[in-house]
Structure 1
Amino acid sequence: MLAIKTISHNSIIFRRSVRLMGDQFEISIVGNNPSWAEDRFDDAVAEINRIEKLLSAFGEDSCINEINRNAGIKPVKANAEIFRLIDRSLQISALTHGAFDITYYTADKDNSNFDTVQNSNTAVKAGVSNVNYKSVELNAIEQTVFLKETGMRIGFASNSKGYAADRAKYILQLQGVSSGVINAGGDLLTWGAQPDNEPWTIATADPSQEKQSFANIAISNMAVATSVNNEKYVTIIDKKLLGSFTPKKGFPVSKIKSVSIISTTAELADAMATPVLAIGINAGLYLINQLNQIGAVIIDDHDRVYTSKNININ
């Protein structure tokens, strides 16, 4: 469905809302030709669908499926795009000390270790303890990916939407779209400016967030991903993980209500939001403050707002 919104001086924002990758995407572009806008929306949707298929673990022709199928057996040659995405994901895992991790464990029911319940429990515990991002071996020369442990799998649920949004933006820019917003289920990616030449803010990019205390932050040419604490989901935090962060100053102990990460790419923002939610206010802000071109806004369960050092909220 195409929606048209006039701002000023006959400038127009064209919008299309469509369900993709199991979530609601709203694509907004600035232009003056409805037919041209429709074609650009088709280009963006086609690219997002391509990314969904590329990262799927289903289908015999799936590269991810082949990598997973050969876990503990042999390296698999990956196409360049998937190889680079895995490489970046492992770098984020190292950066967050494993709080972000594309690996997981699936018990192999055909394995002889699963003949008895006792053996099964032992094998699962051993497998889970061994499986993490450090068990993924990349060979840049051969462009191969090897999952060292049998039963290991990789998946991109945590950063696939962000990567798809980045790719859609790239395609739209190639087609001459100089300004727009991609709202991927509440995660935002913007470029250019609004039709009145004002920068995009969180509120203008996603009106549903306009009542947030930080909604006036300018995010033109940036991405914002938000992770919300779900009370039904219990996160178990490894004490060793928290021990790897050594912030000098502490904050009052409190639960995190939400984390919004602002970065130059949607892929990075998407990947970092949940790890910061998991490690807490103190360690999360300490981590973000060590990095360039990335910021964080954290709201606790008392609606107190904490920001990284490069974000100012009036």
Structure 2
Amino acid sequence: MKLKMIVLIIIAIMLVGCGNNLERKSELNYGLGTLNRITIYDESNNDSRELFKEMFEVINEVERVFSKNLSESEVSKINNHSGLEKVQVSEEVTYVVSRSIEHAKMSKGIFDVTIGPIINLWDIGGDAPRVPTKEEIQDLLELVNYTKIELDEDNHTVKLLEENMVLDLGGIAKGYAADQVALYMKENGIEHGIVNLGGDIVTIGAKPDNEPWAIGLQDPQSGSGESIGALLLEDESVVTSGIYERYIEEQDAFYHHMIDPNTGYPFENELLSVTIISELAIDADALSTAAFGMGLKDGYAFIESLEEVKGIFITEDNEIYLTSGVEDIFQLTNTKSYMIKEMQ
């Protein structure tokens, strides 16, 4: 799925402070190409096994619908008919494609879900990753163009206008899945919980003691999952895009999985990671990729221009830049290695 990235995984630190008869319950499962953990606080005498089963089924259903690697998915049907005819799709695919086009326009194409042919070419994180030739990349770059997605929102149809175009919603569908699980939780009476889909995190309410959740921000320089600080959140989503999670190395060169739609090569800038905090994970997912691709100054300005969105930018020089409002909810703990700086 998500082209994303070498994604910087955020770790949810669960502090067990419960009151009343609420009990912390947590289960781990695999889906969407990653490990997913769902944590809830529920009445201690409730059997929550069926609820967890249904929540993980929500994730599995998103994968069945959106994965370009599953032959029967709706996205595969769109790709199989590229350049030929429009495809009838569900309301949820209509919604996610619509939001994808929105984010592509906002980012001036830095976030582009038609990057599928290039993602397939590199196959970073797949079974046969390799560094393609310049000629191979150039041959496919002309297929990357979000304006060639024809979406009819009223009739729920999608068409890719050029043959061999490939729609890849991996950079946004995981956030959508996290939002859907959070919605399912709320509809079933869960007021306190966390959805963590491989680093795409949604917090539901606050902790039972009314304190915010502490969400650990992983050190992008550490391979052991150490955190550099914590975000204090309630009823918000947080997603990080970074360069260290999926990559290949060849002849002493490092290639991460976050591909620039303009060049067909991994983005090259001073950033190690970008973390986005927003109401919905579907937006944080797309915005973290877009802001990373823009680089520090442009990405920072882009996030600052958006309402109800906040960002954390970490550079190769171990400098941390916080957009407006983040200083109130972020606590840096690794002050030996990292320093918070102000944007000039």
Please classify the TM superposition score into its range, dividing by the shorter chain length.
0.7 to 0.9
Deviation at 1:80, TM superposition (A): 1.4
Q: Which has the higher strand share?
A: 2
1:298 and 2:320 are equivalent in the alignment:
no
Contiguous gaps of at least 5 residues in structure 2:
1-13, 119-133, 218-223, 248-253, 332-344
Distance change >3 Å, CA 293–CA 57, structure 1 → 2: same
Counterpart in the other structure of 1:81: 92
Deviates most, 299-308 or 125-134: 125-134
Of 255, 278, 288, which residue of structure 2 is paired with 1:233? 255
Deviates most, 139-148 or 126-135: 126-135
Distance change >3 Å, CA 74–CA 259, structure 1 → 2: same
Rounded to whole Å, the distance in 2 between the matches of 1:192 and 1:129 is 45
1:258–1:300 contact (8 Å) kept in structure 2: yes
Helix, strand or coil for the counterpart of 1:267?
helix
Distance change >3 Å, CA 218–CA 75, structure 1 → 2: same
When the two structures are superposed, what TM-score results if normalisation uses the length of structure 1? 0.80
Deviation at 1:309, TM superposition (A): 1.9
1:5–1:14 contact (8 Å) kept in structure 2: no
Give the 5 Å matches for 1:17-96: 17-33=28-44, 35-57=46-68, 61-96=72-107
* Partner deviation per Cα, 1:52-87 (whole Å, 9 max, x = no partner): 101123556432222111111112221211111101
Amino acid at match of 2:322: T
Rounded to whole Å, the distance in 1 between the matches of 2:63 and 2:116 is 22
1:144 and 2:157 are equivalent in the alignment:
yes
Largest Rg, 1 or 2: 1
Percent of residue pairs identical: 27
Q: Which has the higher helix share?
A: 1
The total of aligned residue pairs comes to 282
Amino acid at match of 1:279: M
1:199–1:218 contact (8 Å) kept in structure 2: yes
1:222 and 2:239 are equivalent in the alignment:
no
Distance change >3 Å, CA 167–CA 194, structure 1 → 2: same
Q: CA RMSD in A?
A: 3.0
1:127–1:149 contact (8 Å) kept in structure 2: no
1:13–1:195 contact (8 Å) kept in structure 2: no
Give the 5 Å matches for 1:126-145: 127-145=140-158
1:285 and 2:300 are equivalent in the alignment:
yes
Contiguous gaps of at least 5 residues in structure 1:
108-120, 241-252
When the two structures are superposed, what TM-score results if normalisation uses the length of structure 2? 0.73
Deviation at 1:310, TM superposition (A): 2.9
